[in-house]
């Protein structure tokens, strides 16, 4: 069993603690995007000892509301202290706010307002080309977020400039705050839409599967002459039957009973993985 | 009459900088012609990024470039870059602390008869309200050069509004008094202080001459740095005056007049009159016709001062 797949369940417990201690968070998307961020950071050239290395890979969390997962992953990488994050998230005067902030180590850009990340990454990727540096640039967007028009401006620009050092990931969990994405604002054939903007499109059948994600990131790295977008089909609220595939858990705050049940099920799923 | 527009001077300064520094990057949104930056794009194609007609993308891409060490100048009509891209300016430039210089060309009512879609009469208010955003409106080509030379040296975001048409010189080449974030005293006076920015500086200075001819002593302050407003310079210049008049090519709310009034009322209370565009779509015409109609010319400014002092 891939160690990252097990770790994903440990970090989900961290995310649960961060949210419950802080009195709120976006738990549904946090859980769906866990393997995406964890797999990405296991591959990226980033080092907490050299956070300003000009050759480092860049990641921008465009769906900034899933910052709790980013905090857990950054803490796992050594950028943050998870105890500090849990104790101080969303508290008065805290630097651990409810969206990414680049005064914290390991965070490149502030986000939270949707539809900015890909455009910013186009700039980062252009800079890499200008400077002939080999770093790669990644962003993670939500599927509901794709209704933002600025994303399609950025898709156009990245295709136009053939930014093969850029890889975008869509956390395709099919749910947003008001319900099913296809009911709120339909995406229809996302693959065809992205391909029409001159992107290399990779579909990941199970976006909560580390091996499948690794294969997709390999495919992105090998692609020349165009940017890659990975459509990662995930499960919103992944990790507990209480939360899974329920739009109402977009930013639901678990009560004590729910907290205990989720924690228990996360442990059970981890153990089940161990015995696979 | 000077024939060189401020935007053309910007292009010259940026070309000079680009020749020495490959990190100087100019971005346009199908606006290289109207920004007078076509020759930059031709001379430094590797340092020029065309984003197409996509102003939100323009600003965010500039921020991404800046986060990787580039000195990014995003240039687009003031009406679009200041309000269509407003959130990108707020989040990706100011909040994320990236070195993006946002240049609004054809500012104010430069586009004349093209109407309210193309006028930027809200940009000072909008941009000034963003924490960390600086706002500059240079008055002539010589000050524009000094300003851009200074902006190339710092690493903080800023919004710069330039007009479309050449404007008469306020300063003389070779002797341009300029200190970053300090208003320039154009003339001392004892009765009234005229505070202006951008294209309204020249008519304000002309108004002071008209007033002096009528026995009214008028001081003129070129407040090109609307934010951070030069409070010290303003209070010093306003000291002892009976009246302060602000003159700006902007809506009557949230611009230079509002900011000057805030400082004066809190520190040295006296009457402040704000001359500005109306809170309405402006009348159709060239920018000069618009200025004349609303009294934003030397005679209009002088009359306002004279009438107020006689009340």
pLDDT in tens, B52-83: 999 999 999 999 999 999 999 999 999 999 99
pLDDT higher than 80, residue A1: no
In a mutagenesis test of the B interface, which of A56, A62, A108, A123 is the best target, namely the one with the most B β-carbons within 10 Å?
A: A123
CATH code where residue B83 lies: 3.40.50.970
**Residue B311 banded pLDDT, cuts 50, 70, 90:** confident
- Name the percent of chain B lying above pLDDT 90: 98
Q: Maximum CA pair distance of chain A?
A: 54
Nearest to B64 among A115, A127, A160 (CB): A127
- Is B77 in the same domain as B18? yes
pLDDT in tens, B249-303: 999 999 999 999 999 999 999 999 999 999 999 999 999 999 999 999 999 999 9
**What is the Cα–Cα distance from A222 to A216, expressed in whole angstroms?**
10
Span A7-22, average pLDDT: 97
- Is B188 in the same domain as B157? no
Residues of B within 8 A of A112 (CB-CB) are: 91
Determine, yes or no, domain membership for B179: no
- Is B122 in the same domain as B230? no
Q: CA-CA distances (angstroms) from residue A79 to A195, B40, B73?
A: 36, 41, 32
> Count of CB atoms within 10 A of residue A103's CB?
10
Q: Supply angle C-alpha B249, B253, B258, rounded to 5.
A: 90
Question: Looking at the complex, does the CB of residue B172 fall below 8 Å from at least one CB of chain A?
Answer: no
Size (chain B), residues: 311
Please indicate whether, in this complex, the C-beta atoms of A149 and B56 are within 8 angstroms of each other.
yes
pLDDT in tens, B12-58: 999 999 999 999 999 999 999 998 999 999 999 999 999 999 999 99
Determine contact, residues A37/A88, Cβ cutoff 8 Å. no
- Is B25 in the same domain as B140? yes
Question: Looking at the complex, does the CB of residue B87 fall below 8 Å from at least one CB of chain A?
Answer: yes
- Is B141 in the same domain as B243? no
Residues of A within 8 A of B49 (CB-CB) are: 126
Q: In the prediction, which pLDDT does A74 show?
A: 98
pLDDT in tens, B191-240: 999 999 999 999 999 999 999 999 999 999 999 999 999 999 999 999 99
- Is B254 in the same domain as B129? no
Q: Residues 6 or more apart from B240 whose CB is under 8 A from it?
A: B190
**What is the Cα–Cα distance from B35 to A227, expressed in whole angstroms?**
30
Residue where a domain terminates, one of B161, B195, B216:
B161
Going A106 to A110 to A112 to A118, the CA torsion angle's sign is: negative
Q: CA-CA distances (angstroms) from residue B162 to B84, B115, B156?
A: 18, 18, 19
Range of the domain at B228: 184-310
Determine, yes or no, domain membership for B121: yes
Question: Looking at the complex, does the CB of residue B61 fall below 8 Å from at least one CB of chain A?
Answer: yes
Closest by CA position to B78, among listed B131, B19, B10, B20: B10
Determine, yes or no, domain membership for B108: yes
**Residue A229 banded pLDDT, cuts 50, 70, 90:** very high
- Is B198 in the same domain as B230? yes
- Is B124 in the same domain as B200? no
Span A80-94, average pLDDT: 97
Size (chain A), residues: 276
pLDDT in tens, A187-210: 999 999 999 999 999 999 999 999
Determine, yes or no, domain membership for B250: yes
Torsion of CA A104, A110, A112, A114, to 10 degrees: -150
Q: CA of A267, closest CA in chain B: separation in Å?
A: 38
pTM of the predicted structure, to 2 decimals? 0.97
Burial classification of residue A151, based on how many CB atoms lie within 10 Å of its CB (0-12 exposed, 13-18 middle, 19 or more buried): buried
**What is the Cα–Cα distance from A41 to A109, expressed in whole angstroms?**
16
ipTM over cut 0.85 = yes
Find where tokens 């395709």 sit.
Answer: A172
For chain A, what is the HEC assignment?
CCHHHHHHHHHHHHHHHHHHHHCCCCHHHHHHHHHHHHHHHHHCCCCCCCCCCCCCCEEEECCHHHHHHHHHHHHHCCCCCHHHHHHHCCCCCCCCCCCCCCCCCCCCCCCCCCCCHHHHHHHHHHHHHHCCCCCCEEEEEECHHHHCHHHHHHHHHHHHCCCCCEEEEEEECCEECCEEHHHHCCCCCHHHHHHHCCCEEEEECCCCCHHHHHHHHHHHHHCCCCCEEEEEECCCCCCCCCCCCCHHHCCCCCCHHHHHHHHHHHHHHHHHHHCC
Going A235 to A241 to A247 to A252, the CA torsion angle's sign is: negative
Please indicate whether, in this complex, the C-beta atoms of B68 and A109 are within 8 angstroms of each other.
no
**Helices and strands in chain B: count of H runs, count of E runs:** 12, 12
**What is the Cα–Cα distance from B234 to B207, expressed in whole angstroms?**
19
- Is B248 in the same domain as B194? yes
Give the residue from chain A lying closest to B71, CA to CA: A127
- Name the percent of chain A lying above pLDDT 90: 97
The average confidence (pLDDT) of chain B is 97
Determine, yes or no, domain membership for B297: yes
Residues of B within 8 A of A52 (CB-CB) are: none
Going A7 to A10 to A16 to A17, the CA torsion angle's sign is: negative
Question: Looking at the complex, does the CB of residue B54 fall below 8 Å from at least one CB of chain A?
Answer: yes
If DSSP codes are grouped into helix, strand and coil, which group holds residue B74?
strand
Q: Supply angle C-alpha B63, B97, A50, rounded to 5.
A: 90
Q: Which residues are bridge partners to B24 per DSSP? A: B71
Q: Residue B111: how many CA atoms within 13 Å on its side-chain side?
A: 18
Give the residue from chain A lying closest to B61, CA to CA: A123
pLDDT in tens, A100-147: 999 999 999 999 999 999 999 999 999 999 999 999 999 999 999 999
- What is the enclosing helix (H) or strand (E) of B260? helix B256-267
Q: What are phi and psi of A246, to 5 degrees?
A: -120, 115
**Residue A239 banded pLDDT, cuts 50, 70, 90:** very high
Residues of B within 8 A of A113 (CB-CB) are: 87, 91
- Is B120 in the same domain as B192? no
CATH code where residue B238 lies: 3.40.50.920
Number of structural domains chain B divides into: 2
Q: In the prediction, which pLDDT does B1 show?
A: 83
Determine, yes or no, domain membership for B80: yes
Determine contact, residues B170/B186, Cβ cutoff 8 Å. yes
- Is B90 in the same domain as B209? no
Span A157-181, average pLDDT: 97
Please indicate whether, in this complex, the C-beta atoms of A108 and B54 are within 8 angstroms of each other.
no
Q: CA of A269, closest CA in chain B: separation in Å?
A: 39
The average confidence (pLDDT) of chain A is 97
- Is B21 in the same domain as B130? yes
pLDDT higher than 70, residue B133: yes
Determine, yes or no, domain membership for B171: no
């Amino acid at each position: 069993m891939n160690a990252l797949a097990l770790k994903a369940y440990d970090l989900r417990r961290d995310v649960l603690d961060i949210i419950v201690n802080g009195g709120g968070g976006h738990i549904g998307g946090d859980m769906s995007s866990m393997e995406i961020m964890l797999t990405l950071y296991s591959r990226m050239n980033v080092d907490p000892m050299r956070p300003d290395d000009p050759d480092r890979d860049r990641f921008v969390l465009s769906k900034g509301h899933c910052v709790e997962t980013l905090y857990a992953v950054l803490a796992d990488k050594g950028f943050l202290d998870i105890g500090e994050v849990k104790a101080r998230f969303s508290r008065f005067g805290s630097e651990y706010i409810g969206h990414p902030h680049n005064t914290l180590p390991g965070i490149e850009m502030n986000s939270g307002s949707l539809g900015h990340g890909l455009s910013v990454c186009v700039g980062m990727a252009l800079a890499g080309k200008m400077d002939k540096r080999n770093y790669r640039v990644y962003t993670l967007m939500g599927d509901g977020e794709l209704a933002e028009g600025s994303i399609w401006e950025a898709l156009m620009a990245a295709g136009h400039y053939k930014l093969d050092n850029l890889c975008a990931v869509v956390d395709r969990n099919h749910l947003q705050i008001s319900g099913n994405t296809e009911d709120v604002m339909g995406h229809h054939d996302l693959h065809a839409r992205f391909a029409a903007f001159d992107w290399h499109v990779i579909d990941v059948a199970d976006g909560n599967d580390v091996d499948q994600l690794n294969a997709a990131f390999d495919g992105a790295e090998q692609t020349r002459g165009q940017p890659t977008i990975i459509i990662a089909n995930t499960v919103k609220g992944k990790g507990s039957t209480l939360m899974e595939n329920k739009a109402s858990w977009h930013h639901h705050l678990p009560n004590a009973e729910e907290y205990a049940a989720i924690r228990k099920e996360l442990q059970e799923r981890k153990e089940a993985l161990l015995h696979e | 009459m000077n024939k060189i527009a401020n935007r053309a001077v910007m292009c010259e300064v940026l070309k000079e900088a680009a020749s020495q520094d490959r990190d100087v990057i100019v971005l346009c949104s199908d606006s290289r012609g109207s920004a007078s930056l076509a020759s930059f794009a031709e001379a430094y194609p590797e340092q020029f990024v065309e984003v197409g007609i996509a102003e939100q993308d323009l600003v965010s891409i500039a921020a991404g470039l800046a986060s990787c060490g580039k000195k990014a100048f995003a240039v687009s009509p003031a009406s679009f870059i200041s309000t269509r891209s407003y959130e990108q300016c707020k989040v990706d430039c100011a909040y994320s602390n990236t070195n993006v210089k946002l240049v609004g060309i054809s500012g104010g009512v430069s586009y004349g008869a093209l109407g309210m879609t193309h006028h930027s009469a809200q940009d000072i208010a909008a941009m000034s309200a963003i924490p960390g955003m600086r706002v500059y409106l240079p008055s002539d080509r010589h000050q524009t050069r000094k300003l851009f030379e200074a902006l190339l040296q710092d690493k903080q975001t800023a919004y710069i509004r330039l007009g479309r048409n050449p404007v008469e010189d306020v300063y003389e080449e070779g002797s341009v008094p300029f200190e970053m974030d300090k208003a320039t005293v154009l003339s001392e006076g004892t009765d009234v202080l005229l505070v202006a920015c951008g294209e309204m500086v020249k008519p304000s200075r002309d108004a002071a001459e008209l007033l002096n001819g009528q026995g009214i002593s008028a001081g003129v302050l070129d407040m090109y740095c609307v934010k951070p407003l030069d409070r010290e310079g303003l209070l010093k210049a306003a000291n002892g005056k009976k009246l302060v008049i602000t003159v700006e090519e902007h809506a009557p709310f949230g611009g230079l007049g509002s900011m000057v009034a805030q400082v004066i009322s809190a520190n040295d209370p006296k009457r402040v009159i704000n001359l500005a565009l109306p809170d309405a779509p402006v009348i159709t015409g060239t920018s000069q016709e618009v200025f004349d109609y609303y009294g934003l010319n030397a005679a209009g400014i002088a009359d306002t001062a004279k009438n107020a002092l006689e009340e």
